[in-house]
A and B are shown apart, each in its own frame.
Chain A
Amino acid sequence: MKAAVIVFPGSNCDRDCKVAVERSTGAAVDMVWHTETALPQGLDLIVLPGGFSYGDYLRCGAMAALSPVMAEVRKAADRGVAVVGICNGFQVLCESGLLPGALLRNAALKYVCKPVELGIVRPDTRFTRAFGSRRKAVMTVGNGEGAFFADADTLSRIEGEGQVVFRYADNPNGSLNDIAGLINGAGNVLGLMPHPDRSFEPELGSADGAILFQSLLETA
């Protein structure tokens, strides 16, 4: 498997993502700077990492979504390459329109940083198939603006199309419908607020994040 982690100014989980994908899957992982106008050839996975791209100025993910490399990420997504956006990466995917909705300030106005239990709503996606018969996972969240929002029509379409992949067992941030992770209609773009890149070895409290990355090996 071949993967790339996109690095924006202010990304701070880019290295975590590289190590997590490498150790979970054995993939070769390139780091790609946001000003690049081409991606490495033959990618199976693109990771948009967590952090504070462009200082979270204006809106989280807004300026990253318009950076040069995102035009290439969009083309790759259109070709069916797997794209996963984690935390700030999820915000970038929503801002870019690759996923519906938006992420708002947490309901309690507090940054939440803790392990959370997730229900695996869609164990059949290319990002979750290695969970097998498991319907629960634990990963760490760390966000201040992680409350998923979409208008009522969009939300019912998301639910109707089965686009919710992960739901919080105990909603930490006020996300509508307890949504923690969402997939696009084509099934190759996943955004989630919890960090698989902080939960990929038992020493980190959970190794469930590794299973997410390993799921992709079955299609690569």
Chain B
Amino acid sequence: MRARVHVFLKPGVLDVQGKAVESALHGLGWGGVSDVRVGKTLEFDLAGVEPSAAEAEVRRMCETLLANTVIEGYRIELS
């Protein structure tokens, strides 16, 4: 099983990287761009876990290490 975890700063947490990218896009002429958020994606194979238990397992990984829930949210995709 392949897991893909998207981690991003929560709404309301200032994303200064996103702001910098946004202003660069504006400078290149894409004036319609707003609210840019920069996140990260982690992908990994997952063995030894029942498909029905996989999401809960990956969520535990997120809560333990992959995301800091003080500032970050996450979204899990399994395939």
Contact = CB atoms under 8 A, between A and B. Distances in A.
Given A62-B68, A66-B65, A149-B71, A105 B13 contact: no
A102 interface: yes
B14 interface: yes
Interface residues of A, number: 21
Contacts of B66: 58
- Number of chain B interface residues as a range: 10 to 19
Interface string B4-39: 000000001110110010000000000000000000
Contact of A63 (B12, B16, B65): B65
B65 A58 contact: yes
Contacts, number: 38
Contacts of B12: 151
Interface of A: 58-59, 62-63, 66, 94-95, 100-102, 104-109, 149-151, 154, 174
Interface of B: 12-14, 16-17, 20, 64-66, 68, 70-71
Q: Which 9 A-B pairs have the closest CB atoms?
A: A102-B70, A102-B71, A105-B16, A109-B16, A102-B68, A59-B68, A109-B20, A107-B16, A149-B71
